[in-house]
Amino acid sequence: MSIRFAALPHTQDDADDRATSSSSDSEDYAEEDNNFEDWVSDQGQLQACRSLFEDKTFTTAAEALTYDKFTHGFDLDAVSRQWKLDLHRRIRLINFIRKHKLTPTDVGNLTGAETFFTSEDYLIPVIEDDPLLQLDFDDDWSDDGGGPSAEHGSNAPSDLPNALRRISILEKKLSQAQNDLSDYRRLITQNLGVSSIAEIINDPGPSSSEALRDDDTHYFQSYGYNDIHAVMIQDKVRTSSYASFILTNPILFRDAIVLDVGCGTGILSLFAAKSGAKHVYAVEASDVAEKAEKIIQANGLENIITVIRGKVEEITLPDDIDHVDIIISEWMGYALLYESMLDSVLHARERFLRPNGGVMAPSQCRIMLALCEGNEIMKDRVDFWNDVYGFDLSEMAHDVCKDAIIDVVGLESVISEPCLLKDLHLRSITARQLDFASSFSLTSTSPMRTKIHAFVLYFDTFFTTTGDPLSPDVPVRSIKDGDVTLAEVWPIAGKPPPKRRASVGPGLKEREEKRVISFSTGPMSQSTHWKQTLFLLKDPISAEEGTIVSGTFYCKKSEGNSRELDIEIHYSVRKGGDAPTSEVVVQMYKVR
């Protein structure tokens, strides 16, 4: 069983247009007659068209392409020419970008040789009657990347014979275009066994104004309430680690321009201002932005911190700010990638971070996987339903294994060394790489026979002042219950942290560059609000010391809601030595 993981509108010179429209050379009209796609292209230009990379809608396809070219650096015409894409391959590319919501960086990683360029699935329009699918770039686009030629429509014929000839030509083109569109629809419906394209995309008609799926409203609304911010700030492992990195690296932050993505209450922005940042731009899309502004004013930092209300994909920085020096963000979700906020942080990196020497905080995260007995979780989540006040409610437990469970497991319940599933270097990773498949091999360390009821997943987070990738050999700090956590920056018993005279000597800079701040959300560390992510097994694994559980872990954004995750785990078991390997077991989960 497998899983799919799954870049100016321009017209010709007026003189050229006048010459073309007034010419009575029959060869010109013969050439027009052979290029009926020109008419289709012109019609596509008159329809509302959505950007390939944003939810913005433009009055014409040319405007949409121009916006993508100059805002996102993606030139569809140039890419089509470079990869020598014919009509159908170009249609597949457009539909692939729209369906999977690729970023310009994602598209830049393509080569033109991907398998989707030959897949019939991507002949299906993601947006029915998408104007971009009706454009013909071969003749209508100039070599310098300008927009469609206005050769056939910008000026009226100069006399009646030319006008009649033009009408005749356009009527033929219209007829041919209608026939081609009919053939295209027939091709799709025959291959997929459906009655209409609209049936495929659940849309009763043309979708130039169709409502886009909204995965964001509930997400941002949930961050408008106090409770969620209280939980995050009271997580001392989380908050003190950020405070430690920001407040103990004064050379890095002094006079820096900082961008705080998803600032919430503004706590990280306050730390950055306290550490000497020249200015902090705190971006927040939820209603808590209003409270953040008041918090900043209450602390007398309104001249240093500016709150910008909106999504980081849509906001702009002041005209005099080309780049920021540091991006700070607490973007991590359950299983690290739940909520897909990292996509927004990477978008901010591409738009705003200084190309040479800019720092991402955090700079690196690792997703870890281990074996877990999970006896207590099974009792609480599954066995509990077998006898409720004398009644059998076990039907309620049948679907428990379909969803990942977010809970805290004791260290004694973990019976293997962890395996690194994914190492994310925030300076270089792309949004496309957040869908991944990774092999794993876990060996039971249990000294006695036991049953493995779950895989347990957690993540480790690292902060460095250089942003350089850390070797997998660099350990993460595990904070134990009762540890004095960050007395230097975290008030204890109501007393402020000790004040120290700032040092700017070369020794301090060298120490900053070598310092690594880290924390773990694993069972070996003090629990955090992220807890751990458990994947319960339908059939527990009988194991003893040396039993090997190996396989492949698949992770991708959910097609139903891009902020949720679809997880698929393929695994087999070998008792050790020369024992045979079991059949492959496949289980699928939702993280939501």
**Hey, which residues are catalytic here?**
330, 339
The pair of three-digit structure tokens given for residue 199, joined into one six-digit string: 């049936």
110 three-class SS: coil
- Whether the Cβ atoms of residue 239 and residue 232 lie closer than 8 Å to each other: yes
Q: Per-residue b/e over 202-228, b at no fewer than 16 CB within 10 Å?
A: ebeeebeeeeeeebeeebeeebbeeee
List, in sequence order, the alpha helices (H) in 331-441.
341-352, 375-381
Give the integer Cα–Cα distance in Å for 396 and 392: 10
CB atoms < 10 A from the CB of 255, how many? 10
- The tokens 């429509």 sit on which residue? 153
Which segments of 231-288 are extended strands (E)? 257-261, 279-284
Give the integer Cα–Cα distance in Å for 259 and 174: 52
Closest by Cα among 241, 286, 294, 301 to 476:
241
Closest by Cα among 92, 148, 143 to 121:
92
Residue 280 pairs with which residues in a beta bridge? 258, 305
The upper half-sphere exposure of residue 199, i.e. CA atoms within 13 Å in the direction of its Cβ, equals: 9
The pair of three-digit structure tokens given for residue 379, joined into one six-digit string: 């009792």
Closest by Cα among 409, 443, 406 to 524:
409
Segment (H or E) for 451: strand 450-464
DSSP state of 115: G
The pair of three-digit structure tokens given for residue 246, joined into one six-digit string: 């920001």
The pair of three-digit structure tokens given for residue 375, joined into one six-digit string: 């006896």
210 three-class SS: coil
Amino acid residing at 294: K
End-to-end distance of the chain based on CA atoms, in angstroms?
23
Give the integer Cα–Cα distance in Å for 519 and 563: 24
Give the integer Cα–Cα distance in Å for 454 and 341: 27
The pair of three-digit structure tokens given for residue 4, joined into one six-digit string: 């799919």
- Whether the Cβ atoms of residue 247 and residue 272 lie closer than 8 Å to each other: no
